[in-house]
Amino acid sequence: MHNDIASVLHHETTILSRLDAIARDIMRDYDGKPLTVVAILQGGLILMADLLRRVQLPLLIETITVSSYHGGTESSGTVTFLQTRLPDINGRHVILLDDILDSGRTLHAIREKLTTECRPASIRICVLLRKRKQRACAVEADYTGFDIDDEFVVGYGLDYQGRYRNLPYIGVLKPEAIHS
């Protein structure tokens, strides 16, 4: 598994240090407000666990499962919601938590659906990674771990065909490890 990595962009200690800073920002911004964090599965799972243990505020945790990559290395352009029940966030302040902001399609679709159907007080977006690239949809992150170039990365929750999520770092996948 480690042999499939061309280079490591961010080691675990660097990631955890950055999560400390994001947690401080969230605590400052949401002190005294009814907060719900909606983690986007499966990529946001590891980020959710490590970040939210650092946020010392009362909050609710919800999850939502969508698919947009469908096994490839680029967003398919179609966001599929894989559940029937949306989280109960009516009147609450919400942070959408995801592993990466790439094309913007996934986060845009989720934000629109939750805003329209669930009536939250506010929605902000937190991502571990934000690619430096033109987005297909107008969406930006309010909290960002790291900006990265437009490379295919894995680890720390990010996957390729379901693999590599458990790597403790973020790395660039070798081209030969990507099966067409």
Kindly list the catalytic residues.
102
Q: Residue 8: phi, psi to the nearest 5?
A: -100, 125
H/E segment holding residue 172: strand 170-173
* Rounded Cα distance, 119 and 92, in Å: 8
The token pair that represents 158 in the structure block: 């990010």
Q: Give the closest residue to 129 by CA, choosing from 144, 119, 142, 118.
A: 144
Contacts with 95 (C-beta within 8 Å, 6 or more apart), sequence order: 26, 30, 35, 36, 37, 38, 123, 124, 125, 126, 142, 143
